Amino acid sequence: MSNLLHFSEHTLQEIALVFMATIYFLRVRWLLKWTAAKERQPATGMGDTNPKKGSRYSLANILMPWVMESTRTKPLMYLQFVLFHLGVVASIGLSFIIPYAPGLLKSTTVQGILQFCIGAAFVVGIMRIIRRVSNVYVRAISSPDDYFSLILLTAWFGFAFYSVPNDASQGEGILLTYFFVTAFFLMYVPFSKISHYLYYPMTRHYLGKTLGRRGVFPLRRSPAYGNK
């Protein structure tokens, strides 16, 4: 292994991680500074809902495509969402496995699982790029960051896919690119739209807590209106 590759797998990642952790720490501290206002609405509902249940339900919402309008009506979009985010998890995991637990990659099953997740995410990434460029509606609302983040993320999946075997015998180019892009991401993410996942748990928690108290979450209605 060359010094550059060793640097990119270890020192560079560590610097990037510390940078990201610092920014996130500041962000989380900022987020926690917002204490929720006192709820003045009396608790309502049938008594089988409460803030805790509401929060749990709201956080689990992401796993229940049938309760959200946007996913209920578009199951394929939901599938894309799942594959894309599994790919993100696998690609990030890989950046820890290669330097710290490379032995895991000796197993062809582990390799297969990682490559499946990352490969599927790559395909979804390509589909999303095509949609962003070709769909007039999505194009109309896209900012430079939307294109940049998506294209870079998809390319990153590509490099991650070929890095899974962790084999530098044919040259270190792919691995080097993968680690440099990973480091770039760790530093860029807090400033881009990708940071949305940081807010997601917070907003879901507060929404669930409020709607739990107000007797709305967990939802348990099947619409009793409309024509039969």
Nearer CB in complex with another protein: 166/192? 192
Q: Does the footprint of another protein cover residue 11 (CB under 8 A)?
A: no
Contact residue for another protein among 3, 109, 143, 169 (CB under 8 A): 143
C-alpha 179/C-alpha 48 separation (Å) is 50
Say whether the peptide bond before residue 218 is cis (omega within 30 degrees of 0). Answer: yes
Nearer CB in complex with another protein: 33/106? 33
CA 79 to chain CA centroid, nearest Å: 14
Q: Does the footprint of another protein cover residue 76 (CB under 8 A)?
A: no
Q: Which residue in 174, 166, 160 sits closest to 120, CA to CA? A: 160
Q: Does the footprint of another protein cover residue 224 (CB under 8 A)?
A: yes
Q: Does the footprint of another protein cover residue 216 (CB under 8 A)?
A: yes
**Residue numbers 80-119 binding another protein by CB under 8 A:** none
The piece of 3-11, 93-101, 170-178, 191-199 that touches another protein (CB under 8 A) is 191-199
C-alpha 174/C-alpha 109 separation (Å) is 22
Q: Does the footprint of another protein cover residue 21 (CB under 8 A)?
A: no
Contact residue for another protein among 46, 66, 103, 169 (CB under 8 A): 46
Q: Which residue in 68, 109, 97 sits closest to 179, CA to CA? A: 97
User: Closest approach of Cβ 18 to another protein, in Å?
Assistant: 18
The piece of 84-92, 110-118, 178-186, 220-228 that touches another protein (CB under 8 A) is 220-228
Contact residue for another protein among 140, 169, 170, 171 (CB under 8 A): 140
- Which residues are near another protein by CB under 8 A? 34, 40-42, 45-46, 68-71, 74, 77, 131, 135-138, 140-146, 191-193, 195-196, 199-200, 202-203, 207, 215-216, 219-221, 223-227
